[in-house]
Amino acid sequence: MAVIGAGAAGLSAAWQLALKGHEVDLYEAEERIGGKLEYFIPRERLPQVVLQGELERFGSVGIHVHTRHPVDKEKFQQIYKDHDAIVVACGAQKPKTMAVKGADRVVSAYDFLKDANLGKIPPVKDKNVVIIGAGNVGMDVAAEAFRFGAKDVVAIDIQKPAAFGKELDIARSLGTKLLWPKFIDHYAKKERKLYFTDNTSCDADLLIVAIGDVPVTDFLPPSVHTNKDGWIAADEAGHTSDPRVFAVGDAVNLGLVTHAIGHGRKAAEAVHTLLTGKSYYRPAPRPIIPYERIKTGYYEACRPEPFAPEAEANRCLSCAVCRDCHMCEATCFYGAISRRDLEDSSYEYVVDETLCIGCGFCAGVCPCGIWEMVEND
């Protein structure tokens, strides 16, 4: 198996495939794995120590990681020849740009955030920064600009800002101003002002464009189809027009990190099905209960407990890694699950197929998603 791209989607796909017993080669063009997690999400929102802990855990399952390995057409053909299937998780790494009349230089949000995460101090101290594009990436840029000493930060957009959640809250709390709808007329270099078509203006020492990114897919063969905008055409399980090539994450459609991780897992299961011929049990979708049928009498009254961030985090930090809680072993009524110590001081939980009745309680109770129900041959 080969995975191209070590961002959230690629890491997820490689991880899940390795857990299923496949040998995985992971190719990454950058010096370090992590993709946008490593290079673009501000350290204040994703501390380096947390990310490194997760990446070290990733490295514990035997995946062959090849950093500084950009993939071109020739390299892709070799990978295609040497592997049974490929997951393309190249992300959207090419920033959309725009020319601003009168401005000699416009910085991309991509370059600005990458420099910030690599410790290169952006030239914003005591300056007025204008961000073109008021989505969540624009809000990250605003927060980083203030962190590096910007005097004033304004984010403009031609429509209602798409930013939401913590990114928007943090940017606003630091003093970011949001202006919309604003259409740029020109930049006056001597005055250091950005003029709009409505005859208004704002001070601007530095212009940063944050209007989105697109994937670079010119290394793909004609057998892998892309749409007119350059995104790889793939379904929710990552299937492309080439049966041996799967595509996930931002290479297919821009989304959140959680979307990319989930897409990587679905693709890994699809690849596993392709290579083994086995299909996996999927729980039936839960029906949505009509609002008029929901009665408070059906529920026990409870008193809200104080929210403890560390306790909540501990509930999910072991996702897809057994944390030896014994819950599956204790839950199995027939005693089909037992814990076995291994020679390297590790352990594993095993199932006695002569005792297992396939009730699924182990899969239901496991907080880490370790157990999966598989149809009998």
Is 322-372 a domain of CATH 3.40.50.920? no
pLDDT of residue 222: 95
State residue 11's pLDDT score: 97
User: How far is CA 169 from each of CA 83, 178, 207, 241, rounded to the nearest angstrom?
Assistant: 45, 12, 22, 41
* pLDDT at residue 371 in the model: 86
According to the model, what pLDDT value does residue 377 have?
64
Residue 344, pLDDT score: 76
CATH code given to domain 2-93+215-276: 3.50.50.60
Q: What is the reported pLDDT for 342?
A: 85
Mean pLDDT, contiguous 10-residue spans, the chain (377 residues): 97 94 96 94 89 88 95 97 98 88 89 93 94 95 96 96 91 96 93 94 95 93 92 94 97 91 93 86 74 80 72 61 86 92 86 90 84 75
Cα 261-216-113 angle, rounded to 5 deg:
65
Judge contact between 271 and 24, C-beta under 8 A.
Answer: no
Q: Do 2-93+215-276 and 95-212 show the same overall fold?
A: yes
Ordered by start, the domain boundaries in the chain are 2-93+215-276, 95-212, 322-372
pLDDT of the residue at 104: 82
- Cis amide prior to 122 (ω within 30 degrees): no
Confidence (pLDDT) at 312: 66
The pLDDT of residue 76 is: 98
* Strand-pair category, 193-196 with 184-188: antiparallel
User: What whole-number distance in Å separates Cα of residue 226 and Cα of residue 347?
Assistant: 45
CATH homologous superfamily of 95-212: FAD/NAD(P)-binding domain (3.50.50.60)
Q: Where are the alpha helices (DSSP H) in 30-160?
A: 36-39, 48-58, 73-82, 109-117, 136-147
Q: Which of 248, 280, 275, 276 is nearest to 262 (CA)?
A: 248
**DSSP code per residue over 180-229:** -S--EEEEETTTTEEEETTS-EEE-SEEEE-S-EE---TTS-TTS-B-TT
Helices (H), the chain: 8-19, 36-39, 48-58, 73-82, 109-117, 136-147, 165-174, 257-276, 309-314, 327-331, 361-365
Locus of tokens 């490194």: 52
CA-wise closest residue to 234 among 1, 7, 225, 213: 225
User: Residue 146 and residue 127: Cα distance in Å, rounded?
Assistant: 10
Contact 131, 152 (CB under 8 A): no
**Residue 320 has what pLDDT?**
65
Per-residue model confidence (pLDDT) at position 280: 62
Q: How many CA atoms lie within 13 A of 339 on its CB side?
A: 13
